Homo-oligomer: A and B are copies of this chain.
Amino acid sequence: MRVLGDPLRMRIVSLLARETLCTTHLVAETGARQTNLSNHLKVLREAGVVETEPCGRFTYYRLRPEALDAVSASLAELAATARATGAADNRRAC
């Protein structure tokens, strides 16, 4: 959740959703410096959002759908409980 808060990282995630890419492609697509991307990719990797596949001197990055599904599900659950408390008008007295 926290790691998806950064705009550039969300951009990376969107791009990787459609294609498996390597760093060079991401540099070309986003216009960001290679070093900067490498940092963000490290964050995404350590968060389990993406996984790498070394291919010669290239490194392909692929999205892990489970990670996105997990946050999506937890947000959906929050929305469901919120809907329930709204329907029950469950409020704490002051």
Contact = CB atoms under 8 A, between A and B. Distances in A.
Interface residues of A, number: 46
A27 to B, nearest CB: 12
A92 B73 CA distance: 30
A62 to B, nearest CB: 6
Contacts of A86: 20, 62-63, 65
A17 B81 contact: yes
A92 B19 contact: yes
B85 A17 contact: yes
Nearest to A81: B17
Given A4-B1, A20-B91, A72-B72, A79 B58 contact: no
